[in-house]
Amino acid sequence: MTPSNNTDYSRRGYLVPIGGAEEKFNNPEILDKFVDICGGKNARIAIIPTASELEDTGRNYEKLFRKLGIRHAQVLQLITREDCQSDRYLDYIEKADGVFMTGGNQLRLSTTLGGTPVAQTIRRRNAAGMHVAGTSAGAAFMSEHMIAGGDEGSTPSPDMVTMAPGLGLTNNFIIDQHFRQRDRLGRLLTALAYNPFAVGIGLDEDTAAFIRPGDDLEVVGSGGITIIDPTRLTYSSMDRARRGDPVSLIDVKLHILIAGGRFEIASRKAIAE
């Protein structure tokens, strides 16, 4: 899937990929900011817990958003593809100010939501101004090219990552989560070696990229974001590497940004704060 067609980029809603394990109680800065951009206590937020196998995941986020002051937060129990055709759920998304996708397994999201009326409605509504956030698996699912799995380690290798189609809210980024905690530099580099058009976003836990309309992002949270820009890649050995071989990549640019840092997709410029 590619992003929903809308030439007026200023109307698009925010994308908010979160690296997982976001602070929920003591200082929920990321969730507070998401609530804020959605319109505050009068916002309407749809919670999609499809990625999780735990029955209480959605309800826990519903309680959390209500604790943050949201009056209208509702879990959409999208367990089967048939559920993703429900008029009741589609109507709620149509009227929502924000959608929040929980963590779990991103393949549960792609195989359940992919190509359904729910996915199409989220894409269209985001193009018209609705904000979409996702934590962990929910973050990975946002982009057109989704990291579905892979190995730990710092050196890229041809079989280090498994890719799958994502929701397609952006084709400018490939997103990975739990980044520093699970040593995922190599698999994000591998994904970018296969697709040097995109910019890589490696999200530490309790850290989010608030991606504004126009695809400029700001870092919020307690960790860092690794930005990998392969735009000026001059050499890659990926085309002749065999399974398990290390891959050489030359002229890849890397930035580490912390809270307040920004990255501008049009100019490929990183700003500390």
Active site amino acids: 136, 178, 205
For 51, phi and psi rounded to 5 degrees?
A: -65, -25
Question: Residue 163: helix, strand or coil by DSSP?
Answer: strand
User: What's the half-sphere exposure (Cβ side, CA atoms, 13 Å) at 22?
Assistant: 33
Picking from 163, 162, 187, 160, the residue whose alpha carbon sits closest to that of residue 242 is 160
CB 239 within 8 A of CB 248: no
Instruction: Please tell me the distance from the alpha carbon of residue 172 to that of residue 165, in angstroms, as a whole number.
Output: 14
Picking from 1, 23, 3, the residue whose alpha carbon sits closest to that of residue 259 is 23
What is the secondary structure of 187-224 as a DSSP string? HHHHHHHH-TTSEEEEEPTTEEEEE-TTSEEEEEESSE
Compute the residue count for the chain: 273
- The 8-class DSSP code of residue 11 comes to G
Token readout for 267 is 């100019």
